[in-house]
Structure 1
Amino acid sequence: MPGPRTPTFTGRARERAELDGLLRRVRRGEGSVLVIRGEAGIGKTALLHDCARQAPGFRIMRISGVESEMELPFAAIHQLCTPMLDRLGELPTPQQRALRVAFGLAGGRPADPFLVGLATLGLMSEIAAEQPLACLVDDAQWLDGASKQVLGFVGRRLIAEPVLLLFALRDESEDQWLSALPSLPLGGLTDEDARELLAASVPGRLEERVRDRLIAETRGNPLALLELVGGMSREELAGGFGGPSSVSSRMYDTYLQRIRGLPEATRLLLLTAAADSTADAALVWRAGRALGLGRAQAVPAESEQLLVIDSLVRFRHPLVRSAAYAAADAEQRRMVHRALAEATDPAADPDRRLWHLAAATTAPDEDIAAELQRAAGRAGARGGLSAAAGFLQRSVALTHEPETRVERALAATRAHLQAGSLQAAGGLLAEAEADARTNLQRAHVAQLRGQIDWASSPGPAGPVQLLSAAARLDELDMGLARQTYLDAWIAALVADRLAEPGGHLPEVSRAAARAKATLVPSDEPADLLLHGLVTMIDAGVAAGTPSLRRAVDAFLDDPDADWFQRGGALVPAAAAYLWDFDSWAILAARLTERARRSGALAPLVTALSVQGMVAAWRGDLGPAAALLAEGDVVAEAIGGRMFPGGSMLLAGYRGRPAEAMPLIEATAAHAADRGEGLSAHAAHWAEAILRNGLGQYAEAMTAAEQALGETYVPQRKWWVLPELVEAAVRTGKAREAEDALRRLSEHASDSDWVSGIEARCRALLTEGPESERFYAEAVERLGRTALRPEHARAHLLYGEWLRREQRRTDARQRLRTAHDLFTDIGAEAFAERARRELAATGQRIRKPTLRPVTGLTPQEAHIARLARDGRTNPEIGAELFISARTVEWHLSKIFTKLGISSRKALRDALPAHTGQG
């Protein structure tokens, strides 16, 4: 039965033109990325090869995903980067360290995939500086999870690097890291191209009806056409008929049939090659010798064009690998995996050797199960959370003793949860629950179920589940109970008024305050934090203050403590709840610095949100915008999102209604959909600030009243009450203003922050000389704080009162101070309000152009500020998760927009203390 001739490349004119366009972009110095999607055999690999042929002068690097290697962390990235490691020394030290840890070349903290991604981008950029680079990634659906994460990160950041990153991915594959990249769906060949392919491939006569049926049946799938005609007799080609089937199924069946027709020893060699993931010919031959196989057994497979073994092991198609594995029985597979384990160097590749040993074992084996557990630890230390989860999951299957199996299933569940594999985590948790025998194990199951549900859908139900789990742990494991109560408190804080009954913040706080874990004294800062938070809600701010103060002081005194692992953003928040703005700012900066240093990006998103909010409170609106823009970049990179508190406060103070209102409305709508009351509260609080700045007092009052009803946190209510007082006074709602002032007075404190704003609000509701005394107190107290917007508002309200008292000269002084402060901050609506008031006193001020006429995007503005402040391109790139080359590309655009030609000129073009942005 003659096989088809190998034809030249046929068809695909549109797709080849698109790839040629990407190559032209790369030759111009621009980055390009594309994911080619299509079913098995549709021609994805052929397009990759054709692209390589059309790229003379490029450095070509190829990697391929292997199904059995999906559990080995950073396996594909290691394959890609190994030829570039001679450039490792040119990367910043944290990136070098991340790659060394990820590849097992050094010990240390787990390598964050995104820091590895930045290092990979840096290596590509260094190579591409000498000649354009094309990285071709075949069978991307079988890349290990960490490598997909890294490559998705790199693909989104190829801007000014002459690099082409090209993926081939099965059509049915869904992947969060690659789905956001540009894609090219690849369908079947046109009828004309399919006929040309058959004419070039089939010797002898091909009956027209058979040809048309084959094209229709395969839907123009080129490999299916070649394989089907290769398996047909001359008689069938000349006029035979057959029933339709799916392309992949028919191709798979064809390969299976061809493999089963091979000699038994050849089938065993094919199985050995299929069970190995390295494509290492020497390894396959070593394993083959142990099985009595040699070069002669490869000849029939090569003659059938199923396999080639030279310097590498290559299958004609991934379906051949799958069919070769499926054609064997279970005993043959175990025999082959054992031979591969014995052939694998235990020192150079212990994890792959262990994986083969585990695959060769069916009965419980405690030695292998324990080694798998240790391998999971090694994988986790390299940052391969998915791999750690896979090793642990296999360890569970090989564990006989029930209690140990439950513990390993719980550990595997946690690993899958940390890796974001929520479905796998849920399946393992069900196993653990079925075998759980002790109350502690059942409590661990409940706690993990709450965490999985919260991770999959943060919102109204999470607090109830986590609270229930914490209550079960209370008598069994106090340390874990405290952490779970803290998790429940955070969940209740986020859901706020939208939580399900039983999960509202007062209910969670009441339960936690009476729990044994909380009542038993503990001087650990995180435990003091929990005690202070729950007491603050359950018994009042004054009752919670001592524990919060001790917790904050402990965190301030020990800057190297690993405190953000437990307390996270609640640590700086505790300082804010104490009205201690300076400590809030210190702890927020420390949170960001620790997250940056560790390369932990999810905590970095949270930290940047907190620090951005602190900057906005301080009136540093430009730096706040930069911090929040950076947070958005990092959140986008990891598929997460930022809490909108900082961006809302920034929008409120900036006072640009055309920009702010769509953002505020969208945030409130999304918060309602997700059941996040705290985000809705932030949106309406920001609207109240915006409306007061614009002088739209009725709307400000409505927004403030809405925000007050959306949170249980006393301090967050207090932040809104000044907006309500001002709006109510201006709309003649004296009773509502007085009630709001009464509630403000309940937060008595020695803090100038609290006392200054209370004095400002009391002045609004007081007549005569007493009013002026309160205004003067507000100006003095708030002037001693870092809260520039609040200080400026005190001057503004004082000036407005003086104007109404017909004291125009005094009014001008206060209003001019307010106007200058707001202008420096970049608070446009409040600055305009002050300008109008000055005009009413008879002093005309030309309406300022507050927004710099530069046309810089938020990212460009951030890069410009960092460059102005002396940061190098690699330092800027490391902070913004882009390459140094991309930083230089942005700077060239910035210089053009600003009309300058050097970094030195940035100091004049961007004054260091402006709040605009």
Structure 2
Amino acid sequence: MTSSAQPIRPSQESQVELVGRRAERRALDGVLSAVSAGRSGVLVLSGVLVLSGEAGIGKTALLDEVAGQIAEGLLVRVAGVESETEFAYAALHQLCIPLFERIEQIPGPQRAALLTAFGQRRSPTPDPFLVGLAVLSLVSEFVHQCPVFLIIDDQQWLDRASSIAIAFVARRLSAEPVGVVFATRTVGEELRGLPELVVGGLTDDDSRELLALNLDGPLDTSVRDRIIVEARGNPLALLEIPRALGRTGLAGGFGAPGVPLTHSLEGAFRHQLHGLPLPTRRLLALAAAEPAGDASTLWRAAEVLGIETNAAVPAVEAGLAEIGSRVRFRHPLIRSTAYRSVALSDRQLIHSALAAVIDRELDPDRRAWHLGHAAIGPDDEVAAELERCATRVRARGGVAAAAAFLERASALTLDPSNRCDRTIAAASAKAQAGALDVAKDLLKVADAAPMTELQRAQADLVRAQLAFISNHGNDAAPLLLGAARRLESIDPTLARETYLDTLSAAIFAGRLAVDGGVLEVSEAASAATRSLNTPGAADLLLDGMTTQHSAGFEKGLPNVREALRIYGPGMTTEQELRWMFLACVAAAHVWDLDRLMSLAVRHVQLSRDTGAVSELPLALSCLITPLLFTGRFGEAARAIDELTAAIDAMGNNLTPYGALSLAAMSGRRDHLQRLGSTAIHNAEHRGEGIGLTVNAWATALLENGHGRYHAAAEAAVYATSYPGDCTSAGWALIELVEAGSRTGDDAVASAALERLTEMTTPSGTDWGLGVEARSRALTTEGDAAEALYLEAIERLGRAGMGPDQGRAHLLYGEWLRRRRRRVDARAQLRSAHHLFDSIGMDAFAERARVELLATGETAQKRTNSRVAALTAQEAQIARLARDGLSNPEIGARLFISARTVQYHLSKVFAKLGIRSRSQLEHSLPELAT
């Protein structure tokens, strides 16, 4: 079975025998072999290939070659069109049409996202990665029927939304009988890292062979050699240059006046086009302006322009285009050259005619686009329609398309103030779409016009947006802070929202903030909520957190607590998600573990339920913290697996905070060092100072676990040196107290304890008071320490803080052993060892084991032989399968297909000697840690 999402007549470069190309053919044979392997259930390693090279180099001919070898399966072939790049998901829709019969089999949220992207359902704007996951699921479902081959030509001209989604699918294929081949002029961000083959020019011998095969008349030897030199191995140039020369030139009249010989394919096509009658050129320009290729639209628009049907004859006879039920150009360069072959005034008339014949109700966006290009000067009515189109396409997830509509709308707007608004909106959309240079240029245009204070603030917000997108570090906070200050007297609500965003950015920048650090932001925002009669959760969060930094922890505590108590109800989903990270940071800062857990769970659930996949990495990062502090290492590991998969799938550059923390708590020094080295490099590059603090705290915790107290103290001093860090710096004070007391540096330990109690005592929580009691015991002389250890054990046990409770047992046991109370010490050390061993805190477990040996008792080391037999991906899939998730659910969590999940599960079953998922719990109980 074969199909084509967009039937494409082979280009001229593929209508001749394929000459040479032995390496390229081998690579394409590898794709076909990989699909066959995937059909047999073998992991596919090479089912994706990117062909890159200049125009006319033969990429399409190679695509035709591989398509011709597909004897069985579904062939879906789409091609990018330069003038289609502004229509969101246009190419993806074409690709998915043959697959739609399986759409009911994919998960509901994915189905909704895909249908919304295609304008077939009204739902919140779909996350682009959820759309990509939906297409992956759709393809994976279809391969139950037959292999699938996706061929994407002229990828550089796909609309950005489609390009992201298709590249996402290509990256996540592994166990499916699916082949994906791209052809593109240059490999952009979306395709970077995929297997690539650069298609170069033909050798001179192959060039001579190609000329001989395709010329039926005499060819002067010197002319042939000059053609080969000029063509530089480009097959299309080898075919087009002789066409431009004509028979006389080929026979020996080389270089005849008026017949330039040039390697520029566009020049060769321009020469051919200029030899056509003007009505024919106008008809070809009309066809080029409406890339859908619908002949009825072409002829209706031609009638409006007064172009007769016989104008098509010279173009068809010249082989430039084929006009039947569909309109097809021989090569994409002919389309672009034909469009520019007529005057600007003609092009404006062409767009006006197309707008006149396109149905206002069925295709309002395309009609408005043509109206925009038909406008000769400012036209507020058309600009307003383009702005409405931008709103519609953005709702479907077409940010790049919305940016294009807004950019054109701003150019057509007469009123300076409205034009400035639309220019700033276009810049923001361009930034979201990744067109950062264009966004900066638009901001320059806005800056050159008279601007209100509100518009200046909005422009500052876009600059901050650009800074945050290009570098998730210390550039965004100062720009946001400037915008927030401007907005205070103009739009207080927007000012408060901007201050919240500024605080988030400042927390990420941390110690690497040059301007706009946490303390500066807190001082600037101190008056933003004071005048409110009924502040909401976000207002209280802003006031409480900034007060804690500017006036003291205890002073801001009441508002933070109230904000956390009421956070969620009465807020829109967008608002909840927007500041949930701050709410989680605040909960951790006030030592409220229960609220941190509930907020983090809600954060993850909202991200999944709403399809806000881009929010998922941060949400999972927030969830991992309470899971680790309560000793649920298995659940934390599963969240880290999902986080890693999300970061890998999205190219997200978030520091792996959860993985650093788990490595430290587990005592895995080598793993932490590898993670930490990369994290430090990336954090410094981005200006993400919080990453440096988290890594230092993790190092201090790990070194305390191994009993290397001087190293722990050094790391903890660094972690606690920046006063604006809200969470891990506070936890590092705990490590500094222990390390200082063990190295005999009582002054350091006491100073760290004093700073710690400024937070833990007012918090009044069992978590805060428990670690305070344990830390105070370390600095207390004589018998008074015993009551503090017992208090710490009780409080931390009541709070469910297994790791910290184990450390309290350990420290108490060590204290008892030093006081020669060996029997009492053994009881505490046994409890510590049991907790550490069951949780998976290997370094602390070993420390407890050694202490037990000193009392005359032994304890067995824990082994993980069965876990070691599994690869990392097999282990993460086994965890999720053991917990009852279905293959599609696991696939959605890890951004892979259900078929890939099944492939890995079969490997797990074989390694463990089991036959079903129900046996996983008994076969791998240690996976819980």
TM range (shorter): over 0.9
Does 684-693 or 91-100 show the bigger shift? Answer: 91-100
Question: 1-side partners of 2:280 and 2:317: how far apart?
Answer: 11
Contact kept in structure 1, 2:737 and 2:748, CA below 8 Å: yes
Amino acid across the alignment from 1:91 = I
Of 209, 230, 240, 1:196 maps to: 209
Q: Distance in 1 between matches of 2:757 and 2:835?
A: 27
- For residue 170 of structure 1, report the CA deviation from its aligned partner: 0.8
CA distance in 2, matches of 1:535, 1:896: 58
Q: CA deviation at 1:743?
A: 2.0
1:874-913 superposed matches below 5 A: 874-911=888-925
Work out the CA distance in 1 between the residues paired with 2:76 and 2:573. 43
* Structure 2 residue aligned with 1:120: 135
Alignment gaps of 5+ in structure 2? 1-11
Deviations 1:747-773 (A, max 9, x none): 213211111111111222223321221
Distance 1:700 1:689 in 2: 7
Provide the residue aligned with 1:89 in structure 2: 104
Which amino acid in the other structure matches residue 717 of structure 1?
A: A
Q: Which has the larger displacement, 570-579 or 740-749?
A: 740-749
Inter-partner Cα distance in structure 2 for 1:139 and 1:831: 58
Distance 1:217 1:686, change over 3 A: same
Code of the residue aligned with 1:27 in structure 2: it is S
CA distance in 2, matches of 1:482, 1:391: 30
1:178 is aligned to: 191
Map of 1:535-614 to 2, 5 A cutoff? Answer: 535-555=547-567, 557=569, 561-614=573-626
Change (3 A) 1:666 1:881: closer
Contact 1:559 1:590 in 2 (8 A): no
Answer whether contact 2:13 2:61 (CA < 8 A) is retained: no
The amino acid that maps onto 1:328 is V
In structure 2, the residue matched to 1:232 is 245
Distance 2:299 2:716 in 1: 75
CA distance in 1, matches of 2:330, 2:723: 62
Tell me the residue number matched to 2:730: 718
- Please list, as runs of the form range in 1=range in 2, the aligned pairs for 1:227-306 lying within 5 A after superposition: 227-239=240-252, 250-306=264-320
Moved more, 606-615 or 637-646: 637-646
1:331 match: 345
CA deviation after TM superposition for structure 1 residue 846, in Å: 2.9
Task: Work out whether residues 697 and 729 of structure 2, in 8 Å CA contact, stay in contact via their aligned partners in 1.
Answer: no
Residues in 2 aligned to 1:662 and 1:782: alpha-carbon distance in whole angstroms: 31
2:453 pairs, out of 414, 439, 443, with 439
Cα distance in 2 for partners of 1:885, 1:711 equals 49
In the alignment, is residue 727 of structure 1 matched against residue 727 of structure 2?
no
Measured after TM superposition, the shift of residue 134 of structure 1 is: 1.0
1:765 counterpart = 2:779: yes
Q: Which residue of 2 aligns with 1:632?
A: 644
Partners of 2:462 and 2:13 in 1: CA distance: 56
CA displacement at 1:203 relative to structure 2: 2.2
707-716 or 99-108, which deviates more: 707-716
Question: Which residue is equivalent to 1:347?
Answer: 361
Unaligned runs of 5+ in 1: none
Q: Which of 666, 669, 673 is 1:661 aligned to?
A: 673
CA–CA separation in structure 1 for the residues paired with 2:614 and 2:356: 41
402-411 or 202-211, which deviates more: 202-211
Q: Give the distance between the partners of 2:894 and 2:287, measured in 1 at CA.
A: 43
Distance apart, 1:560 and its partner CA? 6.9
Q: Which residue of 2 aligns with 1:136?
A: 151
Aligned counterpart for 1:472 among listed residues 486, 497, 505: 486
The 1:461/1:95 distance shift into structure 2, 3 A limit, reads: closer
Q: 1:134 to 1:906 in 2, by over 3 A?
A: same
> Does structure 1 retain, via aligned residues, the 8 Å contact 2:387–2:409?
yes
Inter-partner Cα distance in structure 2 for 1:836 and 1:310: 85
> Which residue of 496, 516, 521 maps to 1:482?
496
Partner of 1:357: 371
Residue identity in the other structure for 1:33: V
Number of corresponding residues: 908
Superposed CA deviations along residues 383-415 of structure 1, whole A, max 9, x for unmatched, are 111111111111111111112112222222222
- Asked if the contact 2:717–2:736 (Cα under 8 Å) also holds between the matched residues in 1, the reply is yes
Residue 108 of structure 1 aligns to a residue whose secondary structure is: coil
1:655-700 residue CA offsets vs partner (Å, 9 max, x unmatched): 1111111212322233223222211000010000111111111111
Are 1:779 and 2:793 an aligned pair? Answer: yes
Query: Could you tell me which of 63, 66, 72 is aligned with 1:51?
Result: 66
Are 1:372 and 2:372 counterparts? no
The residue matched to 1:314 in structure 2 has which SS?
A: strand
Describe the superposition over 1:176-215 as per-residue Cα deviations: whole angstroms up to 9, x where unpaired: 2122322111100122221211111122333334333322
- The change in CA–CA distance for 1:285 and 1:855 in structure 2 (over 3 A counts) is farther
Residues 209 and 391 (structure 1), Cα distance of their counterparts in 2 relative to 1, 3 Å cut:
same
Q: Secondary structure of 1:110's partner? A: coil
- Separation of aligned partners in 1, 2:203 and 2:263: 21
Bigger mean CA deviation after superposition, 819-828 or 120-129: 120-129
SS at match of 1:906: helix
Partner SS for 2:181: strand
Which residue matches 1:492? 506
Aligned counterparts of 2:788 and 2:474: Cα–Cα separation in 1: 43
Distance (whole Å) between structure 2 residues aligned to residue 642 and residue 851 of structure 1: 32
For residues 692-711 of structure 1, the aligned pairs below 5 Å read 692-711=704-723
Range 121-130 or range 822-831, more displaced: 121-130
Q: What is the Cα deviation at residue 241 of structure 1?
A: 5.2
How many angstroms apart in 1 are the aligned matches of 2:464 and 2:864? 49
Q: State the AA in 1 paired with 2:203.
A: T
Find 1:42's aligned residue among 57, 60, 64: 57
Question: TM-score scaled to structure 1, two decimals?
Answer: 0.95
| 1:363 alignment partner, SS class | coil
1:399 aligns with 2:408: no
Are residue 454 (structure 1) and residue 463 (structure 2) matched? no
Which secondary structure does the structure 1 equivalent of 2:525 belong to? Answer: helix
Alpha-carbon spacing, 1:128–1:282, altered in 2? closer, same or farther (3 Å): farther
Q: Distance in 1 between matches of 2:882 and 2:915?
A: 13
Q: Deviations over 1:511-554 (max 9, x none)?
A: 11144x55444512111111111111001111111111111111
**What's the counterpart of residue 103 of structure 1?**
118
Does the 8 Å CA contact 1:634/1:881 hold for their aligned counterparts? yes
Deviations 1:291-346 (A, max 9, x none): 34454322221221111123322111111011101111112111211222222222
Instruction: Work out the CA distance in 2 between the residues paired with 1:772 and 1:783.
Output: 17
Report the CA distance shift for 1:469/1:841 in structure 2 as closer, same or farther (over 3 A).
same
Shift of 1:562: 4.0
The answer to which of 802-811 and 541-550 deviates more is 802-811
User: Which residue of 6, 18, 27 corresponds with 2:27?
Assistant: 18
1:746 to 734, 746, 758: 758
Q: Distance between the aligned counterparts of 2:248 and 2:911, measured in 1?
A: 72
Matched, 1:427 2:427: no
When the two structures are superposed, what TM-score results if normalisation uses the length of structure 2? 0.94
Distance 1:853 1:381 in 2: 45
Q: 1:772 aligns to what SS in structure 2?
A: helix
CA distance in structure 2 between the aligned counterparts of 1:701 and 1:852, rounded to whole angstroms? 36
Is 1:385 matched with 2:385?
no
Q: In the TM superposition, what are the counterparts of 1:766-845 in structure 2 within 5 Å?
A: 766-845=780-859
For the pair 1:689 / 2:701, whether they are aligned, the reply is: yes
Distance 1:6 1:602 in 2: 44
- Judging changes above 3 Å, is the alpha-carbon distance between structure 1 residues 909 and 254 closer, same or farther for their aligned structure 2 residues? same
Q: 3-state DSSP class of the match of 1:283?
A: helix
2:87 to 72, 77, 90: 72
User: Equivalents in 2 of 1:247, 1:892: separation in Å?
Assistant: 62
Given that 2:585 and 2:727 are in contact with CA atoms closer than 8 Å, whether structure 1 keeps it comes out as no
Paired position in structure 2 for 1:511 = 524
Structure 2 CA distance for partners of 1:230 and 1:715, relative to 1, 3 Å = closer
